[in-house]
Structure 1
Amino acid sequence: MDIRVQGPGPTSPFLSARDRFETEHDLSLPVHVQLRDDPDERTWAAHYDDRHVLNISRQAASSAMASELALHEFAHMARHEQDHPSHTQSTEEVLYLALAGKSVERRKLSHCYQIANHMKDIYADDITLSVGPGEKLLSFLESSLAAAVADRPETPPRPGLERLSASADPEITAVNAAFALALAERHDLVDRDHRLYDLAHAAAMDAPEIDFEGFKRRFRELGRETDVSTYRQVLVDATRSYVGGDGLAAD
């Protein structure tokens, strides 16, 4: 597995992640690590005919999570090379099938993309967690959800209705909580008394219109082996559940 770090910055997190990844997996194409100056730049992978590109800020590359972030992106690259349905299915196609004839708020439309990304992450982390322990990932999920749950408005929207989760978008916070708990349960990372359950419960209470248990079940029970048609239907169903609606997707 060929890794080329471009620009000044740490290299050891990427080499460490490569060593762990190669215990069970490999990539056919080289990986170019692009270190970016913007500290708010999210970590993400891009795919080309002759290479993969791992984009990461220098700040993230120097963090305690750097190796885990790299390993997660290597897993996405592996799924891409496998032509896995979660990484080849067009989200735009799914939205067309799921939302035809509907009027959907822009924010909810963006949330649908996030739901699709959660499903991609489930399949990527099936690889990530097959080659390394999940303690850091669990801590990351817990801290991220705790920050969202603590993000309350200074003034409740109405007396007695103070929100328990992120003030801007409690609906997607509840879905994010379902994803975090589903991933943890899928890989046996948590006991029943783990704090993640309390945080997820708080997020779910703040968005009673979201089928929290349904989303958790969808994420947790995604088939380890799936085909294009099955995966498309699961994503269509999740999209319709989030925005409202039912029915079967066209094949």
Structure 2
Amino acid sequence: MHPEHRQTDHRIRFDWGREGAAAVVPGCAVAVVVDVLTFSTTLTVAIEAGAVVYPYRWDPAAAAGYAAERDATVAVGRSQAAPGRPSLSPASIRRANGVRRLVLPSPNGSALAFALADAGVAVVGACLRNATAVARWVTAHTAGPVAVIAAGERWPDGALRPAVEDLWGAGAVLRVLAAADPDGCSPESLAAVAAFDAASPSIDARLRDSASGRELAAKGFAGDVGIAAELDTTTVVPLLRDAAFVDASTEGPDR
């Protein structure tokens, strides 16, 4: 890896996926994971409902055992959702009752958060729903370097597919961080801010018309896209603590 790819001349950094996180997270105080459709969105909905959420890699068989060890419910794939059986779909979490401990596997945002658990940084989950709350929390609780990581999606061969919704979600967080420290942002961070600024006046329509939004709608999950587009409707700050995300909106970043 070329050392310049680490963006170490800048306090506020931005990159994509696990490879980008490996480049820019070392030396940071906080890593913000953004997966708008839909890990991060589902995470905020679950925490609003009072659950603690365990991220996990996309391995359904292993996730079931991981959940059993923690007396938790494992979220299934969208196609397996049923009444009382939560899935990765945020709409299913809103319909579920009494889930207090949830293992939430996904191949992108959740797997990334799981991988960062031992990286020595505070790991925070962000999406469009809580972008401003997360950025304000980060600004209030750390003066150290911050990495915002867009999780992205995957092509059929497993390669990273940069997904515009995660660029917008990251840009929404970075816009507030940049306002507090305009000289600290990398050019990559400022590019994400510009992308969000261009989309924000019609973010709901843009999200629904994006490739990922159309994909979910075609599968019957247009409602999930609508929830993901709820810009700044919650103040929860999901912080990874002892392997689970909890709401740190009234707390500091100590792990």
The TM-score range, normalised by the shorter chain, is: under 0.3
- Provide TM-score, normalisation by structure 1: 0.26
- Considering fraction of residues, name the structure with more strand: 2
Larger radius of gyration, structure 1 or 2? 1
For CA contacts below 8 A with separation 6 or more, give which structure has more relative contact order.
2
- Considering fraction of residues, name the structure with more helix: 1
